[in-house]
């Protein structure tokens, strides 16, 4: 077994560190006589198909046998109201010293009690698709949320007979199973915009008053990433692919960026079949700090429908679709309109079969990490050889918010923000990720690059430019010697590209670059003030201070 689900009488007689008040409250609800366990993907599909408001389209689902679905299953659509993205402000971590843990637990108990007259569904999945790392996760939600339950077990790996065989031979981690309680029907008066309680040290969470599937997906990953962090892995919100060669070493590239940054595009680009490429995942994976290998956490993809126009071959691999327009074609069949007409951020669970080059485990050690920025002061690509600066740039990754988030009204989507390592789902201090990623550069010897996928000093950088850079780095057409010193900055160089000339002697450019580096330094200083018990290492601030001084 990978994680611990059952306990001996001796373990229950003494204080067990795997239990907490929060976990006891959440797990107990799973055993109520109002809870029905869903035992197959087909059962989940039939329940979802009957859920009030679900649209049964005439678009077939491919690979139904492999997915465990009925042979005649078709794509299902379910649409929400105002909230169409994740609500980060609803999350409360029980171990956060700034939170009132007693009050959170009291609200949790009350909100679970409020639902005792409802009937619920529960199911079990695996997070992590290789015997080296897999975690059992249990999910529970009201029966009128069958569509979300189906989406959940299609997004992760349903715990069927085949999954159980892999699980039984998997590496054991002295961690309890994940338990996730989800109830959009219960609203907490103290938290009118949604209420989520996370107890990451004890692998459990509960979310109330929020319908968006991303709360379930990223909430579960939050807990799984925390387990990985505690057990020798670097948690990655990003994409990873490997180029395999007969005459030289493999190249394994990891891309880190928020939704819309280009990480999925770079991960899935096949370059017209010119190379032997395997894809691990485009959103959630972990890297072993011991041997550099990687494990995918999910088989499927949670994609934007808007990225794939009607008739695009990717739409053949859709299963459950959220917040998307449905119409009738010329034959009177119900079909989807993938563009965001009804609302922004239409979403879909897309199966692994969209990518014939998918792998769940990548043995080839990580070769290079790419921080995907939207920072107009940076050229299309820079190379960072100093491990401290490489880690610092990931820690202060500058980007823009996306439609996948439920943001305050009037928020300017063009505002630059800092999102450490492109991971807004962390359940432990940022200093933990700083240490983990730095090990990949020092212990594993991975290279580091920063990609700007937005614009450089006002000039747009099209995706074709970035994709070509990745290809040329993989096949060796770009060598280290092609990079030129980026001013006098220690361990930083840039690649000269026609149309994106770097003029470090230009006062206007110096000012822009200095301001952006100051933004990063300010963020680090503010973080340390707000987290005095878990500050980020001083070396990060010192390396930025040196750059700012050079630009002054």
pLDDT number for residue 406 = 60
- DSSP character for 1? -
Instruction: Tell me the C-alpha distance between 98 and 245, whole Å.
Output: 51
Burial class (CB in 10 A: 0-12, 13-18, 19+), 429: middle
Estimate the share of the chain in helix, then strand, then coil, as percent rounded to the nearest 5. Answer: 35, 25, 40
Domains in the chain, ordered, with CATH?
19-52+86-231 (3.40.449.10), 233-288+366-502 (3.90.228.20)
CB-count exposure of residue 323 (10 Å: 0-12, 13-18, 19+): buried
- With CA atoms as reference, report the closest residue to 297 among 171, 132, 179, 436: 132
For position 490, what pLDDT does the model report?
85
pLDDT of residue 413: 44
Ranges under pLDDT 50 in the chain? 405, 407, 411-413
Identify any residues that bridge with 124 across adjacent strands, giving them in sequence order: 138
pLDDT of residue 405: 47
Q: Is the dihedral of CA 229, 347, 126, 94 positive or negative?
A: positive
For residues 188 and 108, what is the distance between their CA atoms, to the nearest angstrom? 9
pLDDT at 487: 84
| Residue 60, phi then psi, degrees to nearest 5 | -70, 150
Return the pLDDT at 123: 98
Q: What is the pLDDT of residue 407?
A: 47
Taking the C-alpha atoms of residue 473 and residue 435, their distance in angstroms, rounded to an integer, is 27
Name the token pair of 421: 């390592």
Q: What would the DSSP string read from start to end of 6-19?
A: ---HHHHHS--TT-
The owner of tokens 């309890």 is 176
Residue 463 tokens, joined: 């995706």
- pTM assigned to the model: 0.94
The burial class, CB within 10 Å (0-12 / 13-18 / 19+), for 417 is middle
Condensed to tens digits (0 to 9), the pLDDT of residues 330-372 reads 999 999 999 999 999 999 999 999 998 999 999 999 999 999 9
What distance, in Å, lies between the first and last C-alpha atoms of the chain?
Answer: 57
């Amino acid at each position: 077994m990978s994680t611990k689900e059952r306990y001996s009488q001796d373990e229950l007689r003494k204080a067990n560190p795997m239990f907490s008040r929060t976990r006891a409250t959440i797990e107990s609800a799973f055993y109520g006589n109002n809870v029905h366990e869903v035992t197959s993907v087909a059962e989940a599909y039939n329940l979802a198909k009957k859920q009030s408001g679900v649209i049964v389209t005439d678009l077939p689902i491919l690979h139904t046998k492999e997915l465990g679905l009925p042979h005649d299953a078709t794509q299902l659509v379910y649409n929400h109201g105002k909230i169409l993205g994740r609500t980060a402000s609803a999350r409360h971590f029980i171990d956060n010293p700034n939170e009132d843990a007693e009050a959170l637990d009291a609200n949790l108990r009350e909100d679970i009690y409020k639902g005792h007259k409802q009937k619920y569904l529960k199911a079990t999945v695996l997070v992590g698709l290789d015997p080296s790392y897999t975690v059992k996760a249990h999910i529970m939600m009201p029966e009128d949320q069958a569509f979300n339950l189906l989406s959940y077990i299609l997004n992760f790996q349903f715990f069927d007979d085949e999954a159980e065989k892999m699980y039984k031979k998997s590496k054991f981690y002295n961690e309890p199973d994940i338990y996730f309680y989800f109830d959009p029907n219960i609203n907490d008066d103290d938290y009118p915009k949604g209420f989520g309680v996370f107890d990451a040290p004890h692998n459990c969470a509960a979310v109330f008053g929020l319908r968006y599937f991303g709360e379930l997906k990223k909430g579960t990953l939050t807990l799984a990433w925390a387990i990985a962090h505690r057990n020798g892995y670097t948690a990655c919100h990003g994409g990873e692919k490997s180029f395999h060669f007969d005459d030289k070493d493999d190249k394994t590239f990891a891309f880190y960026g928020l939704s819309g940054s280009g990480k999925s595009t770079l991960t899935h680009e096949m370059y017209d079949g010119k190379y032997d490429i395997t894809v691990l995942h485009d959103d959630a994976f972990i890297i072993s700090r011991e041997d550099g290998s990687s494990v995918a956490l999910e088989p499927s993809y949670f994609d934007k429908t808007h990225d794939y126009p009607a008739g695009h071959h990717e739409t053949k691999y859709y299963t459950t679709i959220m917040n998307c327009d449905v119409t009738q074609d010329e034959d009177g069949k119900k079909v989807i309109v993938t563009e965001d007409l009804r609302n922004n951020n239409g979403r879909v669970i897309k199966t692994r079969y969209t990518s014939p080059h998918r792998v769940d485990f990548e043995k080839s050690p990580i070769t290079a990490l790419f921080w995907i920025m939207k920072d107009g002061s940076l050229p299309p690509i820079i190379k960072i050889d100093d491990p401290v600066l490489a880690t610092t740039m990931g820690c202060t990754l500058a980007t823009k918010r996306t439609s996948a988030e439920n943001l305050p009204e009037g928020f300017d989507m063009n505002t630059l923000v800092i999102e450490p390592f492109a991971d807004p789902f962390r359940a432990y201090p940022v200093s933990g990720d700083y240490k983990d990623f730095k090990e990949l550069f020092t212990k594993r010897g991975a290279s580091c690059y920063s990609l700007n996928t937005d614009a450089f000093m006002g000039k747009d950088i099209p995706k074709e430019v970035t994709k070509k850079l990745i290809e040329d780095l993989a096949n060796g057409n770009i060598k280290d010697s092609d990079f030129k010193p980026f001013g006098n900055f220690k361990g930083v160089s840039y690649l000269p590209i026609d149309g994106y000339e770097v003029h470090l002697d230009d006062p206007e450019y110096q000012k822009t670059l200095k301001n952006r580096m100051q933004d990063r330094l300010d963020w680090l200083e503010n973080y340390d003030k707000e987290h005095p018990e878990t500050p980020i290492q001083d070396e990060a601030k010192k390396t930025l201070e040196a750059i700012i001084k050079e630009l002054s």
